[in-house]
Structure 1
Amino acid sequence: MPIKIPKLLPAREILEEENIFIMDEDRANTQDIRPLNILILNLMPEKEKAEAQFLRLLGNTPLQVNITFLKTATYESKNTSRLHLEQFYTTFEEIRHKKFDGMIITGAPVELIPFDQVDYWGELVKIFEWTKTNVTSTLHICWGAQAALYYHYGVGKYELPQKCSGVYSHRIFDDKEKLLHGFDDVFYAPHSRHTDVSEEAIINSPDLKLLSSSEEAGPFIIHSADRKHIMVTGHLEYETATLAQEYSRDISRGLDVPVPQHYFPDDNPDRKPVNRWRSHANLFFSNWLNYYVYQETPYEWK
């Protein structure tokens, strides 16, 4: 089954060209199906790119999925037009009375700022608390994962000597874990961040379970003991060229950043990168929607 998105959302054209099964509200309303309602708090600066990345993965499932995009009310994006945000996004106050089967909280380019000094931290704390009762499963990405680990479980972050950027190999620790069904023993995933969290702190926490890690990039997939919260420190949703675009952007700004590791052939930025994570990205999101959302959410929220 498809994802349901607004007719005029720019990502729609991209997904249609890729033959991703989508439908608009008119067609979806004619189907007598209980769809999954997924909320996406999009904290990424280039919101339209992030929309396409997540919708592409959420559309690769036999389940019908309704998508609602959430923006912060306490901080206005400088990289996305106000018209786009007004047309396709809502605020927390407008949806706080609702229940959602799943939620995604994206990364954000604020990892070098202390959590409580981020402009929208107070608003995010309210959302974190609300997810405990109003969302079946919440998936936190990159900075969103670090923020969730800090707020819910007291696991802090620390600054890295240089930016962690590249495509790294990861191992899994429990091949019986439903979230990892079908995963290879070793798989690849992109990372792009300036901070990290302690693997030891995660392992020693009775409330957390480390599912996957990388020798070079550190802890990767973590879930809470009750499986309501999933933290992913990297970016399985990234497109093939995303790291190259970030690297080019940083260099153009005069930043001293390393060439993304294990990404460009022969580590040569002039060569076209090869995607080695797409299949596991699709598998991860399908597993999450099936085992952590669809199989756990009530048919009717009360």
Structure 2
Amino acid sequence: MPINVPKQLPARAILEKENIFLMEKNRATTQDIRPLKILILNLMPDKERTETQLLRLLSNSPLQVSVDFIHTETYQSKNVRKSHLEKFYQTFSEIKDQRYDGMIITGAPVEHFDFEEVDYWDELVEIMEWTKEHVTSTLNICWGAQAALYYHYGITKTMRKEKISGIYSHKLVRPTNKLVRGINDEFKIPHSRHTDSDYVAVEKHDQLTILDSSDQVGPLLIVSNDEKNVMITGHIEYDADTLLREYQRDLAKGLDIHAPSNYFPDNDQKKQPVNHWRSEAYLIFSNWLNYFVYQETPFTW
């Protein structure tokens, strides 16, 4: 997928080294197709790394994509340069009069709080309500998925006794769903979280469909029947070393935490972790872009 991103965005140099197809704005405007407009609400602390991960996955289809980033107005991240936000990000109030073909709402390190206790919850509620009329389909990741399940469908979350961290196997239970076309019957995905949504309530909800199962971590993919919302409970966007960096961060904080499960080759922490989920991640993103966004969105809003 040719993806149109700002020339000076730090993620661009990384993606160009990986031979990702990026496009200059002047070339994009001369093509006789309308690019898909994708809005990303980036709630992750390491915004630049998350930008790279998401843009990489948005890049792998024939569709042209134009991306806008927004950050919260009601909470200022302490882990990103102010100059970076000012240069590459907008706020919701600046884009709320526009319409977008797709939107991505990322995870966030706020699982220990009730939803209403999160500093920017009211702002997120306003954004999620806005998506109903202004976005064709929204991809919600990890805590973003839990927030979407709670706000749109009344599904609560609970704390786990210990953090899920590692690579876990999933089995498809709805292999004919458009979102999982081309994906193996069994696949492995990273998870990193302290909470679970009420999956029994999800299964009983008449507006939601679960696409896979895992005895250890629950489903990865939950889709609303109108395809307006896709919930991804894990982190398919993670790099091979992301769980390692999180583990090292938590150890440095003195937390009592186990090493990521099924992660280090031969359970040897001296060995470099391997990415076992790249193909599934690319397929899920490209299927979402094609079937849930491109095939459904109007040419003109």
Q: Same fold (TM over 0.5)?
A: yes
Q: CA deviation at 1:33?
A: 1.7
Question: Is this contact kept in 1: 2:171–2:213, CA < 8 A?
Answer: yes
The corresponding residue for 2:23 is 23
Give unpaired runs (5+ residues) of structure 2.
none
Residues of 2 paired with 1:194 and 1:273: CA distance? 22
**2:128 match: secondary structure:** helix
Residues of 2 paired with 1:81 and 1:30: CA distance? 34
Residues of 2 paired with 1:58 and 1:220: CA distance? 19
Residues of 2 paired with 1:238 and 1:217: CA distance? 17
**2:68 match: secondary structure:** strand
**1:136 match: secondary structure:** strand
1:200 aligns with 2:211: no
The corresponding residue for 1:82 is 82
Residues of 2 paired with 1:205 and 1:197: CA distance? 13
Q: CA deviation at 1:174?
A: 1.1
Letter in 2 for 1:89: Y
CA deviation vs aligned residue, 1:105-129 (integer Å, no higher than 9, x gap): 0000001111001000000000000
Residues of 2 paired with 1:128 and 1:41: CA distance? 11
The corresponding residue for 1:176 is 176
1:71 aligns with 2:71: yes
Q: CA deviation at 1:266?
A: 2.2
1:289 aligns with 2:293: no
Residues of 1 paired with 2:2 and 2:237: CA distance? 18
Q: Which runs of 4+ in 1 moved over 4 A?
A: none
CA deviation vs aligned residue, 1:202-233 (integer Å, no higher than 9, x gap): 11111111111211111210011211001000
Q: CA deviation at 1:100?
A: 0.2
Question: Is this contact kept in 2: 1:244–1:269, CA < 8 A?
Answer: no
The corresponding residue for 2:136 is 136
CA deviation vs aligned residue, 1:238-271 (integer Å, no higher than 9, x gap): 0111000110111011111111001101222221
Residues of 2 paired with 1:297 and 1:237: CA distance? 24
Residues of 1 paired with 2:196 and 2:213: CA distance? 12
CA deviation vs aligned residue, 1:158-189 (integer Å, no higher than 9, x gap): 00011000010001111110101011110010
**2:256 match: secondary structure:** coil
> Relative to structure 2, which stretch is displaced further, 75-84 or 205-214?
205-214
1:86-105 maps to which residues of 2 (within 5 A)?
Answer: 86-105=86-105
Question: Is this contact kept in 1: 2:174–2:210, CA < 8 A?
Answer: no
> Relative to structure 2, which stretch is displaced further, 249-258 or 21-30?
21-30
> Relative to structure 2, which stretch is displaced further, 98-107 or 192-201?
192-201
TM normalised by structure 2 equals 0.99
Letter in 2 for 1:135: V
Question: Is this contact kept in 1: 2:53–2:237, CA < 8 A?
Answer: yes
- Identical aligned residues as a percent: 59
The corresponding residue for 1:250 is 250
CA deviation vs aligned residue, 1:101-152 (integer Å, no higher than 9, x gap): 0000000000111100100000000000000000000000000000000111
The corresponding residue for 1:238 is 238
The corresponding residue for 1:157 is 157
The corresponding residue for 2:298 is 298
Letter in 2 for 1:5: V
Question: Is this contact kept in 2: 1:4–1:67, CA < 8 A?
Answer: yes
Residues of 2 paired with 1:179 and 1:141: CA distance? 15
**1:160 match: secondary structure:** strand
Give unpaired runs (5+ residues) of structure 1.
none
Question: Is this contact kept in 2: 1:198–1:219, CA < 8 A?
Answer: no
Question: Is this contact kept in 2: 1:197–1:219, CA < 8 A?
Answer: no
The corresponding residue for 2:274 is 274
**2:203 match: secondary structure:** helix
